[in-house]
Amino acid sequence: MLRSDENDEGDHEISADEVDAVHSVAAKYYRMIVMDSGNTARAANWRAMIGHTDQLVIPTTTMEDRAEAAKLTLQTLAARDQLLAQLAEDAVVIISQWKAEDGDEARRIADGFAPLVRRVVTVPYDQALKAGRIRHTALKPATQRAWPAAAGAVAQGL
């Protein structure tokens, strides 16, 4: 995980060279490598990670500022060069409903992403995802169907 350095507590933020080194080692042993970066598109470590990316997954919620940040990330990639523009166009956006009443907002946000990416998947609100350990049996049936659909959308791009 590429951590954003949001505090001054002396924590180490992984460098771009370290991203490359870790990826090199992991690639010797694994055919699939998943990296979680947060949303620091200006950071050198983030750009290094994107350089190793075959399938971009943009998770967001129905909180307007988060969805807008995700959209700006895609637009930033699309504007950089042709390779990154193609990565953005082939991306999968996963929108998780923040609140139970966010169904209309989720559809509006999904409609805004649809022309930018290969696929948009919406995951309904589920209280079982809000706190503590996630138990599959506690999830609503719609949630149990949505997450495999999201995984399938990602897998189609690999």
- Distance between CA atoms of residues 104 and 25, nearest Å: 44
Mean pLDDT of the chain: 89
Cα 109 → chain centroid = 15
The confidence band for 1, taking pLDDT boundaries of 50, 70 and 90, is very low
Contact assessment for residue 68 and residue 32, using Cβ atoms and an 8 Å cutoff: no
The confidence band for 101, taking pLDDT boundaries of 50, 70 and 90, is very high
Please list, in sequence order, all residues whose beta carbon lies within 8 angstroms of the beta carbon of residue 44, skipping any fewer than 6 positions away: 15, 16
Q: Is residue 142 over pLDDT 90?
A: yes
Q: Residue 41: what pLDDT?
A: 74
Q: What is the pLDDT of residues 41-50, one digit of tens each?
A: 778 888 899 9
- Distance between CA atoms of residues 37 and 34, nearest Å: 10
Contact assessment for residue 118 and residue 91, using Cβ atoms and an 8 Å cutoff: yes
- Distance between CA atoms of residues 49 and 36, nearest Å: 9
Nearest in space to 33 (alpha carbons), one of 57, 59, 17, 16: 57
